[in-house]
Copies of this chain bind each other. A is one copy, B any other.
């Protein structure tokens, strides 16, 4: 309990302005806001582990809008919302034909009369996911202003074309616990590396989210990928600025080995080239199946030139004492397990399996923290009240 009270005291002194705001990109949040999010996540987890229910809502809707498939984020969102007392209602496009454009405004209002939070995953169309989330946010602002909505639901970006903040924040809460504190990340080398996968079209938001967040903690970030597998230029620019401002560095290499050399952390993960993602958008819009197939074929053929971009034991041997922490957002393409040749060797993955599961385990608490901070102006006071209330999550436990 004292541990929780101490976390609340740390939270109390953070200068934050998150209530009524959405959580879309980590780089829109101040350092204090990022750290407050980690603190709230840790507090919620600690409360639950001590059987103290952090349920703040006696009723209320949380909308989940998944414009792409998902198991783990879906479950994380559901778990987070349920923990706070919200009922999850899916906005399923199959069932309800929500669309970009004029109807966004209307639908955003129609689903929000009793809604506290909206989680949106929209990562398929480069240049559109983030825009869509802001469009929804703007519609909600208008709805509140017009007196149509009683309160502003908080939007949580569950992955878009630019950032994947629930993933990267979970990743870094894991790192903070692994290394003993966020301050311990200073000077650590992290290799965010492309890796081979026999699939294509994987979004850029994971690597972008990782470098976008890593660059705030004074880390030495090496981004590695074959030439042509670029990320969004704006994100690279922003990362460079943040890295320098935080006393870290951000460099690029086209060699996985070089990236892994003396790294403390490696994050080998496939993604599609920026250029391919751009070309894919009009094809997806047009429903041009032949065009998509041709593009896929071309992209896959190009991938095979880089089949040696695999996180093998040999490559792990290049890292700091051969013991860098391996990270992945899961599911990983594991050589000889999920495919013939993939992102990571089976023996490497096996050794770090539990670590990757632990990494994932922070996501529900990160999401719950984002919602709570988006809804309550004084989270420290709220959490203290919850602690004082002392309601058991499991009766009689």
Q: Report the minimal beta-carbon distance from A353 to chain B, rounded to whole angstroms.
A: 8
Interface presence of A274 (CB below 8 A): no
Q: How many copies of this chain does the complex contain?
A: 3
- Structural contact, B48 and A114, CB atoms closer than 8 A: yes
Bound: A72/B88 CA distance, A: 15
* A 320-337 to B, binary, CB cutoff 8 A, 1 in contact else 0: 000000000011001001
- Structural contact, A395 and B55, CB atoms closer than 8 A: yes
User: Which of A88, A337, A354 has the most B CB atoms < 10 Å from its CB?
Assistant: A354
Q: For A338, give the chain B residue with the smallest CB separation.
A: B102
Tell me whether A391 and B53 are in contact in the complex, defined as CB-CB below 8 angstroms, given that A71-B96, A95-B71, A103-B338 are known contacts.
no
Interfacial chain B residues near A96, Cβ < 8 Å: 69-71, 74
Interface presence of A233 (CB below 8 A): no
Interface SS of A by simple majority: mixed
* A 154-190 to B, binary, CB cutoff 8 A, 1 in contact else 0: 0000000000000000000000000000000000000
- The number of residues on chain A lying at the interface, defined by a beta carbon within 8 Å of a beta carbon of chain B, is 72
Interface presence of A278 (CB below 8 A): no
- Structural contact, A357 and B89, CB atoms closer than 8 A: no
Interfacial chain B residues near A91, Cβ < 8 Å: 71
Interface presence of A146 (CB below 8 A): yes
Interface presence of A246 (CB below 8 A): no
* A 58-88 to B, binary, CB cutoff 8 A, 1 in contact else 0: 1111010000011110111011001111011
Q: For A94, give the chain B residue with the smallest CB separation.
A: B69
- Structural contact, B386 and A396, CB atoms closer than 8 A: yes
* A 368-397 to B, binary, CB cutoff 8 A, 1 in contact else 0: 000000001000011001100101111110
Interface presence of A218 (CB below 8 A): no
Q: Report the minimal beta-carbon distance from A167 to chain B, rounded to whole angstroms.
A: 13
Interfacial chain B residues near A71, Cβ < 8 Å: 91, 95-98, 107, 110-111
Question: What are 30 A-B pairs with beta-carbon distances under 8 A?
Answer: A48-B114, A55-B59, A55-B395, A56-B396, A58-B392, A58-B393, A58-B394, A60-B394, A69-B96, A71-B91, A71-B98, A71-B107, A74-B89, A74-B95, A76-B113, A78-B89, A79-B115, A82-B114, A88-B89, A103-B338, A110-B330, A113-B361, A113-B363, A146-B358, A148-B358, A148-B361, A149-B361, A376-B396, A381-B396, A385-B395
